[in-house]
Amino acid sequence: MSFEKGDPPEQLTSTVLLTEEARAAALRNAWDEAARLWTIVRERSPDVLGAYFEHAHALTKLEQFDAAEATFAHGMARFPKDPWLAIHHSWMAMHRADWQEAARRWAAIRDRFPDQPFGYHNGGLSLQEAGRFDEAELVLAAGAEKFPDNIDVLRYFALNADHRRSSESVARWENLCRRFPDDDFGRMNLQRVKYHALWDDAKSDHVQTGSGEEERATRGVSAAGQSHQAGLEPSRLAMQFESLGQNCEFGLVRRYFGAEPLSLFRFSATNIDMLTSALDSHFEGVGTVEQTMVTAHPGGELVVEDRRFFKGMHTPAHRDSVDMDVFLTEMRQGLIFLKRRLLEILRGADKVFVCVRMDFPERDVVRLLGALRRY
């Protein structure tokens, strides 16, 4: 801003200084001070656009939600053509986890500001959080068509297929990975949904162990570190290992490098005593009615436990999305398949077995090694 004569007006200088002080207070998390200063800025210079949403942000931090709503209302009335006030207003509903209201506000943004992708991906997310997945599908499909290179739109579009247990999940994550090959979030989720697809086959006992397994488990994903000088690709190298617990850590390492095999202990929790007993008994009873149970984590994810040998096996299912009796039957079939697969791998003795723990007593390691060698 320039002035033809002399210094800028005193009121403008004061407003600029107050704005700087208000932002400095916000950086210190001094929200009372920031809110007080933004009130003065708005009173002195009501045409300063940023004062409205920054003031509302400070009030939100103070949990003065009604005052923040009133501030946004004043700002949007004064600047009806500015999208950012409306966008920040919608974010505030998300901050309060008022998903129905957030969905309504994002719908208004799509009507008033159709060139803003926020209305689509945040609108889709709000509908998902409200449990309105079919409506989210319509919004996100329109967004994916309108903004085919917006990574947030593509992410929530793919996630919505996951929520709906749609066969489109793999195709949507593959599309995102093609457009954004360096996006770890997309690549990891593509691996995840491919793993779920393998699980669906295993539950029906459709998957057969054998030479085609490596191709199925590594197909179609460009893993981190894939540019290599010589030797196996990282995804195929990761297939030369087999997890024996005691938690999910090594299973996630294999996912990172593009390998997505089915495995009894890949996403299960166990301990060395349970593992050694399982090996000694050739996994006796795994998959039977007597030994198999399903429980739900607090977030709703269903996990499978074997009363003798492992607990907390993660699954792709949510308690609200399945018939529990049918699911238990399917999981028992899947466990029988995974047991058969692991026994074949143990007898083949051509993989590196990994059990993740830092403090194994030597006597327990000797017992475990002896159990492995008996195969």
Task: Give the pLDDT confidence of 334-372 residue by residue, as tens digits.
Answer: 899 889 999 999 999 889 998 877 677 889 889 999 999
Instruction: Write the pLDDT tens digit of every residue in 181-198.
Output: 989 888 878 877 877 777
Q: How confident is the model at residue 232 (pLDDT cuts 50, 70, 90)?
A: low
* Ramachandran angles phi, psi of 45, nearest 5°: -135, 80
Q: What is the pLDDT of residue 194?
A: 79
Structural domain spans, the chain = 213-220+232-373
In the predicted structure, residue 326 carries a pLDDT above the cut 70:
yes
| pLDDT score at 190 | 86
Q: What's phi and psi for 191, nearest 5 deg?
A: -60, -40
Share the mean pLDDT of the chain. 85
| 259: exposed, middle or buried (Cβ count in 10 Å: 0-12, 13-18, 19+) | buried
Specify the pLDDT at position 127: 96
pLDDT band at residue 99 using 50, 70 and 90 as cut-offs:
very high
Q: What is the pLDDT of residues 119-160, one digit of tens each?
A: 999 999 999 999 899 999 999 999 999 999 999 999 999 999
Radius of gyration of the chain (CA): 28
What's residue 184's pLDDT? 84
Residue 202 or 320, more confident: 320
Per-residue pLDDT, 277: 94
**Other C-beta atoms lying within 10 Å of the C-beta of residue 43:** 9
Sign of the torsion angle spanned by Cα atoms 229, 231, 234, 236: positive
What's the pLDDT at 36?
A: 92
Flag the least confident range among 104-113, 167-176, 215-224, 305-314: 215-224
Has this prediction a pTM greater than 0.75? no
